Structure 1
Amino acid sequence: MNSIEQLVASASVSENPLHVLTSFLEEQKRLEDARQVENMKFVGYTLELNYDSAKIITSDPYKIAVGGIPRGSFLILVPNDFRGLPVHFTLLRVAGVSPTPLSNHVQQTYFELHKKSMPELDVWTQSELQWGALDCDVIGMFYQNPTDSKKLEFSGDVNNVVSAHRYQVYSPNQEILDLIVNGLVNSNGRYSLGNLRATECLLTSDTSQQPEVKISVEDFKGTRTAMFGKTRLGKSNVVKLIAESIIKSSRIDQNVGQIIFDINGEYANDNPQDGNKSIRSAYEEQCVVYALTKRPGTESKDLRLNFYEHPSTCKDVISTLLNQDKQQANYVKSFSSVVLPSIEEINLADQNDKIRMIRKVQLYWAILKKAGFPCKEKNLRDLKLRARNTSDFNPGFSEEIRNTIYGDTVPAKPKNIDDLVSEIDALATYVLDHGTSGLKSSSGKPLLDADDEALINFFKPKSGSGPIILRDYIQYHSKDATNFTKEILEYLDEGRTVILDLGNATDKIRRYFSDLISQSVFIHQEQKFINNNLGGKYIQLYFEEAHNLFPPNTDDHTGIYSRFAKEGAKFHIGMVYSTQSPSTISKELLAQTENFFVGHLSSSEETRALSKVQTAFNGVEEDIQKAKTPGYMRMLTMSHRFVVPLQANKFEVKVGKE
């Protein structure tokens, strides 16, 4: 019984994915016996073989029969004789053309032929000139699991190298190619991303006839995924496909919530001009859009804060914005340093502390009103921020204090927000003229503490613009806004996809909302981890223009984005980040990134930067630089142990979608 017959007769491989190899080799043996060379997948033999590379000899008829052997394509290496060996094959990737022992002789023959202008070649010469050699990288080995005959295994090395003449090289058929690109992919949450595409040139091949390339949602949960490539070449399209696969997989279990920071508005809004469809329009029931500016045709919630109704957090926001704008005046710095109590803290305080805490919030309200920030008085009354025997807008000053502030004509106590502003204005005018020494509480202590004075001095400074400088931040405020950070976290826990439409925002505004929500997500998941409540729930974040968030030379390793990179997996936080160039991203993040999708990169420096942090891209750098077809990418995921070239599907909203 010959080697092939022995292999096919092996019952142990019948339930293993490698049965496609035995069927393939049996078919090749039948074609060889029938001398049907034109239908065979045989490519040639090995001239040299070591652990990392191989040189194979082939001939034009073999290359033509398999439809060509482009650089980057996969070949399989199998032993001539499987006796005593488990079923396996070694995966090769074509790296380039190699000289043969006859190369100099062949070149001399070509030279002589062209010099003599010979119109035809004799049969002997033609046969001689058709042979050539190819250099290949040894990618690894597919083999049967030694302890479970039904499982497929892959190793990034080979266990043994024997003499080169003991191997044959084939171009894999559809079934084996499918095994190569999908055989290792996690079976949970599998979705098609595109089709295998070995080369940009489609002269003699059709990408749609190539095997589908599958991804697994499990590879993206709690991991880091990078999208690299020049603009308009398909990064956002692949992001949509990944987000779509997660939406589909979490419909039942609701175990993965997603948040997309949409800086161009393409995930929240359709763009009829270039035929791009949005994730929101494809999965309206699973998606929630928050927008700074509502767009026609897109239902969205308000992505703004109510600066009045959330005094503690919103005062911190104002302080952050003032610091970002580098406001240097001392009265502004003092105002920025004030920390307001939260509504919850006020409700838990005793009566004396409550009066002082409410007064601080009312001073802050007066500043906002003077700056022109609109409010709903009814909502402020509903907060029930009032001391005993006072109205909602009465700071609670004693009659003696009010007489001191106003002099002879003392108005009625404040009953609305405008009355409050007038009361604080009178107080600030007195402080400006007389200081605070004459203002004492009923117990004889100073009426105002340092924070109160900082707020009053900002309301009416000795010199400077005062509250009017807050006008630049009114775009962040809405009197109708809800606590959107709390809402977003609830949506994420329900497995929904939240899209933040930041398409009309400035860079500063985008950065602010990214920081605010990212901090909230991290703290939310961290608390779940501490309380052992993570379970199987994950949150997936999507960042574009990632070089702004993860710069390469940062010394800040404690910021929220650095913590995502280092601790995200522990807290079940995954992220997909997109940018044009690997060299513009933090090396620490790159080193910890598990999944890569790489389109066209025009610079050798960029491909070298990629290969340095992920050695799997060694050998495909030139192809990445040359290929410019939209959607043509090199993929490496946790399931894929080697780079797979693919043509990504175009994201489309299907009629009667699932």
Structure 2
Amino acid sequence: MTKNKGPLANEAAKYAEHLADQSGQDLTALISAQGNVGDLIKMDFSECELLIHDHLRQKVGGLALGCFLLATRLSPGAAAAPLDEDSNLLLLRVTGQARLPNASETDLNRFLAGQRVATQDAMWDAQGKIDQFTLNQLRYAGIRCRLLGTFRMKETKPSEWKLSFGADVSNFYSGRGLKVYKPFGAALAQIVNFQKTKGDDSHPLSGKRVPIGRVRYASSERLVDPAGDSVQVELDPTDLIARRTALFGMSRTGKSNTTKVIASSVFRLREQDKKKGLIGQLVFDVNGEYANENTQDGSEENAACLKNIVLHTANAAHSDVATYGLAPHPNDPARTIVKVNFFGGFVSKSSTADELSKALEPLLVGKMLIDGRIASDSSKYIANFRNTSLDIPVVLDQSSATRFQRALLAYRAALSAAGFAPPDAVKKALLKGLFSKELVQALEQSSSSDASMYVRAATIIKKETVSWDEAVELMKSLRRFIQDTKHSGYDHFNSDYASQHDGRSWHDERLTGILSIFEYANGVNALRASKDEHDPGSVGDYAQSVMDDLVAGKLVIFDQSLGDPDMNRAAAERIMWVIFNRQKQEFVAAKKDKDGNLIPPPDILVYAEEAHNLLPPNAATDVSNIWSRVAKEGSKYRIGLVYATQEPSSIQSNIMKNTDNWFVAHLNNADETKELRKYYDFDDFVPSILQVPDAGFLRMRTLSNPYIVPVQINRFLVKAK
């Protein structure tokens, strides 16, 4: 006997039951009698087969490859108890044709009917050419589907029900029928825009979805959409933050347009929140199409380049977009020129460690760029130069300062010999205090066949400052003097020096490593490839400037259209290391807010256009490179990566394996689609990806979307509609 809990408790129970019934109706609202296409006749845990009639197929506007279907025992609009086993909808995707058990008989009937009209103008299904019973039988067909998962209502809180999706099926019965429906209109929109439950680490603005295109099942779709298939598809911009995103497709298939659409959606998060919506974005613009107006964007004012998005975004100022480039642009007077003063600033023997660090920061950056350029040269004299560090000594006493200054002089002389113009601060080479009178005497007293060269070197040393041409001449003589130790007289000089300096030689590995570049003419010539990156008037390091802009939440467009591939790769890697190291520091030494909560690193999103030119190749085994580090560790450091390329097979596999978001357009090569088959269920779309070259027709799967959605991406417009 049930104990009476009182009128209030009974009313509460009735209300809770009402809410449960209402949730069941919300579930059945996803199907409609007009969308009925047939019956499910065979299934397992991953695939199923449907029996479809041509009449029903025509009534719903057709069943294109890749379209969504729903299978259920529920009736459209009926009430359903959400806890019942059958109160669910199975989400299916059409993947092809299934051969029915009577296929041999129907194939024969079609053949005979066609044979009868083969010499006539009539179709074999015309009135009077085939009996209606047989014709009706021939209109049944089998459809093969992927089983994507299960929709059901779940009670997230007491008496609060919410539509949920599980990416599998918990059970099935072979002897129970399921009706199949095609969703369209509002039901289809709810399915394609269904969002998984947010995690604890989700962005504060997660769930603020924005339209980026419409559902598109086929290239040959009708211009009129009577079935309601063409519904709006939305993107959660925060899915890209601190995540990896792949954008694949041939040239002219909409990769750049898609990049602009998603980058603009992230930029416009500031419209929702002035502070939380500030996401630093960096675009490596290989072709200059994001920083500059171009013919590809069209002539309309509203079809301009990504840089101009600031003109039509609330809570944004002109300074929120920063552009960088190798050369000035007439339409972009505020552009920062990304060159480095390879010589650095003025320093002397008496400079402190802090003064040296500040003055030589660009010089060290330049050395790193040069080392990257000559990294593949295995010549010993090149390798010695490349492996010689110019880092400031930890202990800066008189001896170490003098030795460091000599190596610095040799390096700058090498730059001058390679044609690098010195800045005004170091127009002359400073020799004062770097060479002893004993060395001068040793040079002057040499009896070798190169004695005249050494006497000339001694004459140069006696000056306090000399031209860089003289400095080059001196360095070549010193290298020869030290190398030809037995004949030049250096051996005797060095022995005397060592006896007075605790056994240390006059030269050190740093000096000889730098001087090795003068051994052959090709040594200095190897440095000339970096001249385009040098500007004697440049101040500071542009990589740090880029990082500061990103921390401020700006959209940074790095125009690399005038750089060669090696230069672009070196610059991108250097900037990425600066970003990675600074974000890592913010993570391990996190500050606290006024409430004592740890402040995470700022959100930064990087776009690598033509990624096959920047990222390591698939065959590369070194996973310590910056791009691999970002792919594997970037999430915890709040670094997101969007990489776009025509060649998925060119991307290092460990980067692909850590990718969360996918946008895939047309690829014309089976080797490239072979790579895609490894991920999620892109295998279902391979025929369409290979065959359909329509611009902007993509297959999209993002972090919050539990399945792939075929979508026609909107054309990017600076002024959002």
Under TM normalisation by the shorter chain, which class is it? 0.7 to 0.9
Task: Give the aligned partner of residue 449 of structure 1.
Answer: 508
CA contact (8 A) 2:410 2:475 kept: no
Task: Give the aligned partner of residue 364 of structure 2.
Answer: 312
1:166 Cα deviation after fit: 3.8
Q: Does 1:167 align with 2:178?
A: yes
- Secondary structure of 2:295's partner? coil
Task: Give the aligned partner of residue 291 of structure 1.
Answer: 325
* CA offset digits 1:288-325 (Å, max 9, x no partner): 2221233332342112211111233322332332333x
Q: Aligned partners of 1:474, 1:21: CA distance in 2, in Å?
A: 66
Task: Give the aligned partner of residue 184 of structure 1.
Answer: 195
1:371 Cα deviation after fit: 3.1
Q: Map 1:138-217; keep pairs closer than 5 Å.
A: 138-148=147-157, 149-162=160-173, 165-184=176-195, 187-203=206-222, 205-206=224-225, 210-217=230-237
Task: Give the aligned partner of residue 36 of structure 1.
Answer: none
The letter for the 1-side match of 2:330 is: P
Q: Does 1:226 align with 2:231?
A: no
Consecutive unaligned residues of structure 1, counting only runs of 5 or more, are 1-8, 29-39, 382-390
Q: Aligned partners of 1:277, 1:13: CA distance in 2, in Å?
A: 51
Task: Give the aligned partner of residue 686 of structure 2.
Answer: 621
Q: Does 1:79 align with 2:73?
A: yes
Task: Give the aligned partner of residue 702 of structure 2.
Answer: 637
Task: Give the aligned partner of residue 37 of structure 1.
Answer: none
Q: Does 1:12 align with 2:20?
A: yes
Task: Give the aligned partner of residue 541 of structure 2.
Answer: 483
CA contact (8 A) 2:212 2:261 kept: yes
Task: Give the aligned partner of residue 422 of structure 1.
Answer: 470
Task: Give the aligned partner of residue 634 of structure 2.
Answer: 568
CA contact (8 A) 2:601 2:637 kept: no
Shift in CA distance, 161/373, structure 1 to aligned 2, threshold 3 Å: same
Task: Tell me which moved more, 569-578 or 434-443.
Answer: 434-443
Shift in CA distance, 293/60, structure 1 to aligned 2, threshold 3 Å: same
Q: Does 1:91 align with 2:91?
A: yes
Task: Give the aligned partner of residue 384 of structure 2.
Answer: 334
2:336 corresponds to which of 275, 297, 301: 301
- Secondary structure of 1:214's partner? strand
1:494 corresponds to which of 552, 557, 562: 552
Q: Aligned partners of 2:674, 2:705: CA distance in 1, in Å?
A: 21
Task: Tell me which moved more, 360-369 or 90-99.
Answer: 360-369
Task: Give the aligned partner of residue 4 of structure 1.
Answer: none
The letter for the 2-side match of 1:12 is: A
Shift in CA distance, 48/483, structure 1 to aligned 2, threshold 3 Å: same
Q: Aligned partners of 1:581, 1:403: CA distance in 2, in Å?
A: 61
Task: Give the aligned partner of residue 110 of structure 1.
Answer: 110
The letter for the 2-side match of 1:640 is: N
Task: Give the aligned partner of residue 308 of structure 2.
Answer: 281
Shift in CA distance, 604/368, structure 1 to aligned 2, threshold 3 Å: closer
* CA offset digits 1:362-412 (Å, max 9, x no partner): 33223323433223323x59xxxxxxxxx9934414673586368799689
The letter for the 2-side match of 1:279 is: L
Q: Does 1:503 align with 2:537?
A: no
1:419 Cα deviation after fit: 4.0
Task: Tell me which moved more, 207-216 or 165-174.
Answer: 207-216
Task: Give the aligned partner of residue 660 of structure 2.
Answer: 594
Task: Tell me which moved more, 127-136 or 80-89.
Answer: 80-89
Task: Give the aligned partner of residue 120 of structure 1.
Answer: 127
Q: Aligned partners of 1:401, 1:561: CA distance in 2, in Å?
A: 52
1:165 Cα deviation after fit: 4.9
CA contact (8 A) 2:268 2:277 kept: no
Q: Aligned partners of 2:251, 2:96: CA distance in 1, in Å?
A: 29
The letter for the 2-side match of 1:489 is: M
Task: Give the aligned partner of residue 66 of structure 1.
Answer: 60
Task: Give the aligned partner of residue 393 of structure 1.
Answer: 430
* CA offset digits 1:312-355 (Å, max 9, x no partner): 3322332332333x16253x44333322134xx68x83444334
Q: Does 1:374 align with 2:415?
A: no
Task: Tell me which moved more, 547-556 or 80-89.
Answer: 80-89
Q: Aligned partners of 1:619, 1:168: CA distance in 2, in Å?
A: 23
Q: Does 1:582 align with 2:581?
A: no
Q: Aligned partners of 2:649, 2:431: CA distance in 1, in Å?
A: 58
Q: Aligned partners of 1:553, 1:225: CA distance in 2, in Å?
A: 21
1:563 Cα deviation after fit: 1.6
Q: Aligned partners of 1:268, 1:13: CA distance in 2, in Å?
A: 55
1:215 Cα deviation after fit: 1.4
1:469 Cα deviation after fit: 4.3
Task: Give the aligned partner of residue 280 of structure 2.
Answer: 257
Q: Aligned partners of 2:365, 2:672: CA distance in 1, in Å?
A: 41
The letter for the 2-side match of 1:11 is: L
Shift in CA distance, 11/46, structure 1 to aligned 2, threshold 3 Å: same
Task: Give the aligned partner of residue 33 of structure 1.
Answer: none
- Secondary structure of 1:226's partner? strand
1:252 Cα deviation after fit: 3.3
* CA offset digits 1:162-190 (Å, max 9, x no partner): 35654222111311111111121665342
Q: Aligned partners of 1:270, 1:123: CA distance in 2, in Å?
A: 63
Q: Aligned partners of 1:123, 1:88: CA distance in 2, in Å?
A: 37
Consecutive unaligned residues of structure 2, counting only runs of 5 or more, are 1-16, 118-123, 199-205, 311-317, 345-361, 445-454, 482-487, 592-598
1:468 Cα deviation after fit: 4.8
1:65 Cα deviation after fit: 1.9
1:438 corresponds to which of 463, 481, 493: 493
Measured on the aligned residues, the alpha-carbon RMSD in Å equals 3.4
CA contact (8 A) 1:77 1:91 kept: yes
The letter for the 1-side match of 2:72 is: V
- The TM-score, its normalising length taken from structure 2, stands at 0.77
Shift in CA distance, 338/615, structure 1 to aligned 2, threshold 3 Å: closer
Shift in CA distance, 369/104, structure 1 to aligned 2, threshold 3 Å: closer
* CA offset digits 1:229-263 (Å, max 9, x no partner): 22211112111212112211255325532222221
1:272 Cα deviation after fit: 1.8
CA contact (8 A) 2:429 2:467 kept: no
Shift in CA distance, 157/255, structure 1 to aligned 2, threshold 3 Å: same
- The TM-score, its normalising length taken from structure 1, stands at 0.84
Q: Map 1:35-50; keep pairs closer than 5 Å.
A: 40-50=34-44
Shift in CA distance, 169/578, structure 1 to aligned 2, threshold 3 Å: same
